[in-house]
Structure 1
Amino acid sequence: MRLSFLRYKKKDVSGAQELLFKWPYIGLITISITTLNFLITYNLRNTTVQYLSFYVIDLVATYLIIEFYAFGIHVLNKRAPLGDNFVKRVTYQFTAHTLSVVIFSILINELLDAIFFQGERLSLSFDFYTQDTVVALVFILLFHCIYLGLYLLSAKSVFLEGEPKKIKVFQGMAHKLVGFNDVICVYTQLGNTYVVDSNYNSFVSEKTLGEFEELVSQRFFRANRQFLVTMAIIDSYKSAGNGKVEVFLKANGIGDLNKSIYVSRSKASSFRSWLKKG
């Protein structure tokens, strides 16, 4: 039986489930699952040296499937983020993603079998497809449940913690503390990060836009590479060419703040969903 789980290289979703994607945890998961599968699959009473080569190849297969699984999660996090539409994401993850991983698992095992064992281990065997693949499917679904459960626990924790009460900004040469609930927009320009409060005062911050994105709640939306916006600063919006959305901002005298920005086609649906939640 060959099965694998998940390694996720790029941080698209922060939370407790991130631990599943980092070393040494991912290594422990890979070795544990491979060992468990090995013990279930083979009768170790008649162990030979050849079984060691079987185990090593199973580890390789598991690692390759982990990479494929990670790619699938990466795509899902872009196309159907958990925070945007949880039901839609869960549906995709339990159907299309699961099926693609199972198919890839079969193909990679057959390929490694053909390369290293001349097709003698699997050979499209009846037992492999009626037993091993089914058990692998059950473990994949179980891992989905663990992954989503950790996400929900993490989301609950973030909700309870809330945003920081105040953040440090600069006004000229002076340091100032601004209430985070008063922040309505964060944007970057010429390498600097600017914070706009509800009175349309603009301050400089030493934090990057990416660092702000990790702090903020769903009150903010990452419109593009330069802007984190709230609904308070949005004046209006309209559909633009190529599936984009043009968003008009209330600049209110802030000279370097763009009067309009664009939300990309890939984020347009998430942007409209975010507006409906407001």
Structure 2
Amino acid sequence: MAFNMLFNGNKTDASQPQELLFRNPYIWLITISITTLNFLITYNLRNANVNYIYFYLVDILTTYLIIDFYAIGIAILNRKAPLNGDFTKRITYQFTVHTLAVVLFSVLINELLDNIFFSGKRLSLSFEFYTQDTVLSLIFALLFHCLYIGLYLLAGNKAPNREDKRNIKVFHGMANKMVPLNEIVCFYTSLGNTYVITNDNDRFHTDLTLTDLEQIVSQEFFRVNRQFLIRERIIDSYRSIENGKIEVQLKSRGNAEFDKSIIVSRGKASTFRAWVTAN
């Protein structure tokens, strides 16, 4: 899917349950379920014939493309207005602009495929299409919004309990040590090694990479650049600089690496501000 490229490219947390809606096998289960329900509502199956199988297969393709378009919109919203940022703003965008875009795309893709597979004779901008299928597209989009956001909120309510139980394995002398994730304020790399900084300013070495750690930690951490994965409470100050970038200063902890300013790229700047606000 096109969404997978945006999904991976934007470092969206794939472990979040709401994002699984757009991954196999769930996307196909949703596609077939919606298509079947829409088919039963739209057609009188008492007069069904072999052509209805062809109609059904084209409708599955149509529904899949609409859901894929819906997912691309979600990926863009996750980048521009993440759920863990200004939640009200995100909900407003999702229920208005995103909904309208999905409905318009539904109209266009239906008309396009109708002309490709049926020479424009099945829909042909019919009154029934705009009073039935378009309304159904709106209803399904709104229901999908509720499902997506509901899964997000459900995961958010459970996240603190899961996090308290998670530990990061580090090296303490010649032994291995488990450090609770909620005691860690920063991960960073230096000279090819990955280090862990705790609330008590203890520093440990771990064999995990920052990429590995991104898959483990919660949204309380932010990957500001290739070198640092931080919690909000370790930030001393930040300010906007040229070209839309952000300069971040960490609290001094007797570590030379923390005396340097960290630059957040222009592409991550808006997400960083939203993350700081949310935390």
Q: TM-score range by the shorter chain?
A: 0.7 to 0.9
Task: State percent identity of aligned pairs.
Answer: 59
Coordinate RMSD, CA, aligned: 2.4
Deviation of residue 78 (structure 1)?
0.8
Q: Does 1:168 align with 2:169?
A: yes
1:3 matched residue in structure 2:
none
Alpha carbons 1:187, 1:227 under 8 Å: kept = yes
Deviation of residue 217 (structure 1)?
4.0
1:62 matched residue in structure 2:
63
- Find runs of 4+ consecutive structure 1 residues off by over 6 angstroms: none
Map 1:1-278 onto structure 2 (within 5 A): 9=4, 10=7, 12-13=12-13, 14-164=15-165, 166-171=167-172, 173-257=174-258, 259-276=260-277
Alpha carbons 1:185, 1:229 under 8 Å: kept = yes
Deviation of residue 258 (structure 1)?
6.2
Deviation of residue 172 (structure 1)?
5.1
Return 5+ residue gaps in structure 2 as ranges: none
State the secondary structure of the residue aligned to 2:237: strand
Residues in 2 aligned to 1:273 and 1:107: alpha-carbon distance in whole angstroms: 34
Deviation of residue 157 (structure 1)?
0.9
Moved more, 90-99 or 163-172: 163-172
Alpha carbons 1:200, 1:254 under 8 Å: kept = no
Deviation of residue 44 (structure 1)?
1.2
Residues in 1 aligned to 2:54 and 2:167: alpha-carbon distance in whole angstroms: 58
For 1:206-265, what per-residue CA distance to the aligned partner results, in whole angstroms no more than 9, with x for missing partners? 223234334434543332333222244323222211111101223544345561111223
Deviation of residue 191 (structure 1)?
4.3
Q: TM-score, normalised by structure 1?
A: 0.87
Return 5+ residue gaps in structure 1 as ranges: 1-5
1:244–1:163 Cα change, 3 Å: farther
Alpha carbons 1:164, 1:215 under 8 Å: kept = no
State the secondary structure of the residue aligned to 2:67: helix
* Higher helix residue share: 2
Count of aligned pairs? 273
Alpha carbons 1:171, 1:203 under 8 Å: kept = yes
Deviation of residue 49 (structure 1)?
1.4
State the secondary structure of the residue aligned to 2:171: strand
Residues in 2 aligned to 1:218 and 1:57: alpha-carbon distance in whole angstroms: 40
Moved more, 90-99 or 233-242: 233-242
For 1:84-132, what per-residue CA distance to the aligned partner results, in whole angstroms no more than 9, with x for missing partners? 1211111111111111111111111111111111100011111111221
